[in-house]
Structure 1
Amino acid sequence: MAMESVLSQLGSIIAGLMFVWAIFRQYFPQDLRNHIEKYSQRLVNFVYPYIQIKFNEFTGERLKRSEAYLAIETYLSSNSSMQAKRFTADVVENRQSLALTMDDHEEVADVFEGVKLWWSSGKTTTKGPSFSFYPVTDEKRYYTLTFHKRQRELIIGPYLKHVLKEGKAINVKNRLRKLYTNSGSKWSHVVFEHPATFQTLAMEPEKKKEIIDDLVTFSNAEEFYAQIGRAWKRGYLLYGPPGTGKSTMIAAMANLLGYDLYDLELTAVKDNTELRKLLIETSSKSIIVIEDIDCSVDLTGQRKNKMEKEEKEEKDPVRKLAKEETESKNSKVTLSGLLNFIDGLWSACGGERIIVFTTNHVDKLDPALIRRGRMDKHIKLSYCSFEAFKVLAKNYLKLESHHLFAKISGLLEETEMTPADVAENLMPKTSPGNAETCLESLIGALEKAKEEAQIKAEEEEKRVVSLVPKEEKEQDIIANEQSRTKKLSTEEPEGQSSAKVAPAGA
């Protein structure tokens, strides 16, 4: 009976409070109610020792998802799996794995530098007009951080920076990397899935380690670049004959660092303004690639000379009009515009970018384009060495040693063959392939290449001799004839010297 009496009294009190609250809301003016609620909230805040921070999913009239919300969601997903009891699962785009996030109204705890705090997820729902044939329910999700007011400085400062940094790092690590290409001033992309790594790259181990160390050092040098007052970017010039692995190295660089790739096609860019726009739209943690840059004559500082020469030669008005129409369709990107793209003021927009040029003929490039500070590191990719061959043999044939390796080593020292050609000869011709057959095929190709190189060298020597001017040949013949005549004139007839020596009275 005592319990029933207590519950009855409690029910009466609650009913009375609800009645008073209803009367208060109905008969008291809005201004007075706001005034009372304001001071009641102050009283609660004075008694309640905790602070709450709310992070909404959308900002600016739901036009854009909050970067802070996304970072917090990722951070909590990786830290709440051992605490939360209710999750929301979704399939990651283009992957066969599930992403788990905290369900609505779930709460987990976190500890930072010995201080305990709490994260909770929430959702507010508002319905559209009831008279609509298709009523819309608007859901707004948010995260709430709760902590003691004594820890205000620690949480608002270092802790939130830690959460945002860790969340963004996890997003970058787990994201699907993309390969972009440009059509005019717009980027389009596909998922980047190139399998190349530095482990499978055919290169000398010492050189490979040097490049890896340089890339890793750059990716961890944000504070250093800020300290010395330079934009956080680095340029790489890859040069060498075709087939030496320039494109493969770029893919290995992207896989090592987890960067997106932007393959910039300069011929599709209308002018310097479009080029600048493309740069602004690239993201951080990316590699911007311009392949075969030597093929663009207008970027070698020769545009003016070329135009002057064509103006002198072009006299026909019809041909001149056709030429103008053609030029209007061509790219008008200048050397100056490209230099500003690489290290001008606009290049500092964003951070953690790598710019890569590839070329087969480094001597054709303007020195201003590849100087240190623009292309900071020059990497020469040459013909296949024996160390590079061993990497290919391990990749293609699962071999680390073989009795034919010694012969191949000697032939590689005497013959120039690209890693691409070596790899093609190591490709098994049957399934499964015979390793020794592949090595013998490579030896045959090397010997053939050696013979062809010798024949080519002999033909080149003959060609050089044949190109000696006719006048020089005639001069040589005349000089030889004069030398022979002079020699004959100085020689005396046989017996003449003895007659001169004989006494007069003999």
Structure 2
Amino acid sequence: MEVAMVEWWPWFGSAVASTIFLWSMVQNHIPDALRLNLAALAAKLTAYFNPYLQITISENGAQRWKRSELFLAVEAYLSDACARRARRLKAELGKDSKNIQVSIDDHEGVTDDFSGATLWWHASKQRPNANVISLYPGEDEKRFYRVTFHKRHHDLVVDSYLPFVLGEGRTIIIKNRQRLLFTNKASGSSSPYGARTAWSHVPFEHPATFDTLAMDPKQKEDVIDDLMAFQESKEYYAKVGKAWKRGYLLYGPPGTGKSTMIAAMANFLDYDVYDLELTAINNNTELRKLFIETTGKSIIVIEDIDCSADLTGKRRKDKKASRDKDSDGNDKPKYQSSQRRMTRPR
């Protein structure tokens, strides 16, 4: 038997080498259309004998400027439900920067069970094509999750399992959510064609509340009632066909508590804060990208808008005198709502 194997092995090696050599010679003379058809046929044959299906969930999906909600939900779900089964994890500080949260590391796989079906999840990332020549900075690595399952569970996975993962992931995200203070990056540090966010963030830990805010009690009560009415009127806005948003204009000399009032509003609503610096923006494309990447429940702050954008013309020369006049009369911030005041729903 050993003699036969010794005699057979050189012949096998020669056959493989000859096949590779002939294929390298022949494929250069095969028309592109025929080559594509052969590749498609090979893929069909492989799929016919392979009983497993795969679904890929990309980090950015169709909207390149915004992270996919499904991707974030899958990430949260796997970190909570399946992280114990992974061999490689990554750790970071969670809510309030006190608890450590672990999640599945890149290029790691875990299994999950759902209604009798076994599913294999794999976290990975893909580098952009380095051969592409572009005038813009290159994109970062694209992360994605891929789930593999038997084809007989197709309907179960699409109709039941993935919606279940989405719901559980949303719940986990809300539970572990840490409010953040975002600031936009300087123009040039992040391309509008890149896959990563144009915002940088730090934990929002400002202690201000309406209880500690130095403000006229009646005016403070009006602001609180207005915020509560807005918070409870999402369905009303959708019914009348308006965007669920509300604007306030805070004006007054520096040091009169405008930023403190914004922090009190954010703590009252439990919203993130986006500090938008207009001087760091070059064009409308960058501004649009920044707004797209904001979350639904957030406060967007545009400071010194009269200085940053030519919306009301140049400052008058006597503005300093006018400011001094206002500060003599009242050193507290004034506010105006950009919409009519609503009454709270009963």
Return the alpha-carbon distance in structure 1 between the equivalents of residues 66 and 11 of structure 2. 44
Does the C-alpha gap of structure 1 residues 57 and 71 become closer, same or farther in structure 2, counting only changes over 3 Å? same
Equivalent position of 2:290 in the other structure: 281
Alignment: residue pair count: 285
Provide Cα deviations, 1:57-104, integer angstroms capped at 9, x if missing partner: 6889xx989646555434422332233233233567994654423242
Does the C-alpha gap of structure 1 residues 377 and 87 become closer, same or farther in structure 2, counting only changes over 3 Å? same
Specify which of 270, 273, 283 is matched with residue 261 of structure 1: 273
> C-alpha displacement at 1:12, in angstroms?
11
Does the C-alpha gap of structure 1 residues 35 and 228 become closer, same or farther in structure 2, counting only changes over 3 Å? same
Equivalent position of 2:56 in the other structure: 54
Residues 182 and 263, structure 1, Cα contact 8 Å, conserved in 2: no
1:333 aligned onto 2:311: yes
* Structure with more helix by fraction: 1
Specify which of 232, 237, 246 is matched with residue 234 of structure 1: 246
Does the C-alpha gap of structure 1 residues 253 and 114 become closer, same or farther in structure 2, counting only changes over 3 Å? farther
Return the alpha-carbon distance in structure 1 between the equivalents of residues 52 and 213 of structure 2. 56
> C-alpha displacement at 1:233, in angstroms?
1.4
Return the alpha-carbon distance in structure 1 between the equivalents of residues 12 and 104 of structure 2. 36
Residues 105 and 123, structure 1, Cα contact 8 Å, conserved in 2: no
Provide Cα deviations, 1:285-322, integer angstroms capped at 9, x if missing partner: 321347899xx8xxxxxxxxxxxxxxxxxxxxxxxxxx
TM-score (norm 2): 0.53
Equivalent position of 2:82 in the other structure: 80
Residues 236 and 376, structure 1, Cα contact 8 Å, conserved in 2: no
The secondary structure found in structure 1 opposite 2:47 is: helix
Residues 292 and 360, structure 1, Cα contact 8 Å, conserved in 2: no
Equivalent position of 1:120 in the other structure: 122
> C-alpha displacement at 1:108, in angstroms?
2.2
Return the alpha-carbon distance in structure 2 between the equivalents of residues 116 and 33 of structure 1. 36
Specify which of 22, 27, 42 is matched with residue 27 of structure 1: 22
1:217 aligned onto 2:232: yes
| Counterpart residue identity of residue 333, structure 1 | L
Residues 230 and 342, structure 2, Cα contact 8 Å, conserved in 1: no
> C-alpha displacement at 1:53, in angstroms?
2.0
> C-alpha displacement at 1:52, in angstroms?
0.6
| Counterpart residue identity of residue 108, structure 1 | T
How much is the aligned-residue C-alpha RMSD, in angstroms?
6.1
> C-alpha displacement at 1:207, in angstroms?
8.3
Identity value in percent:
36
Specify which of 45, 48, 70 is matched with residue 47 of structure 2: 45
Does the C-alpha gap of structure 1 residues 199 and 125 become closer, same or farther in structure 2, counting only changes over 3 Å? same
> C-alpha displacement at 1:237, in angstroms?
7.5
Does the C-alpha gap of structure 1 residues 281 and 177 become closer, same or farther in structure 2, counting only changes over 3 Å? same
Return the alpha-carbon distance in structure 2 between the equivalents of residues 371 and 91 of structure 1. 39
Structure 2 residue ranges without an equivalent (≥5) = 132-139, 190-197, 314-331
Equivalent position of 1:196 in the other structure: 208
Which aligned pairs between 1:79-478 and structure 2 lie closer than 5 A?
A: 79-89=81-91, 95=97, 98-103=100-105, 104-111=107-114, 116-122=118-124, 142-153=144-155, 155-156=157-158, 159-160=161-162, 163=165, 174=177, 177-178=180-181, 180=183, 191=202, 192-197=204-209, 213-214=228-229, 216-217=231-232, 221=234, 225-235=237-247, 248-262=260-274, 281-282=290-291, 283-284=294-295, 285-289=297-301, 332-334=310-312, 370-372=338-340, 376=342
> C-alpha displacement at 1:42, in angstroms?
2.3
Return the alpha-carbon distance in structure 2 between the equivalents of residues 275 and 140 of structure 1. 25
> C-alpha displacement at 1:178, in angstroms?
1.1
Structure 1 residue ranges without an equivalent (≥5) = 130-137, 297-328, 336-358, 379-506
Provide Cα deviations, 1:197-255, integer angstroms capped at 9, x if missing partner: 56877979x9898567546535xx4x66445422121346889xxx9987545323323
Does the C-alpha gap of structure 1 residues 26 and 74 become closer, same or farther in structure 2, counting only changes over 3 Å? farther
Q: Which has the higher contact order (CA 8 A, sep 6+)?
A: 2
Equivalent position of 1:133 in the other structure: none
Return the alpha-carbon distance in structure 1 between the equivalents of residues 44 and 12 of structure 2. 21
TM-score (norm 1): 0.39
Residues 105 and 120, structure 1, Cα contact 8 Å, conserved in 2: yes
Does the C-alpha gap of structure 1 residues 47 and 280 become closer, same or farther in structure 2, counting only changes over 3 Å? closer
Return the alpha-carbon distance in structure 2 between the equivalents of residues 332 and 124 of structure 1. 43
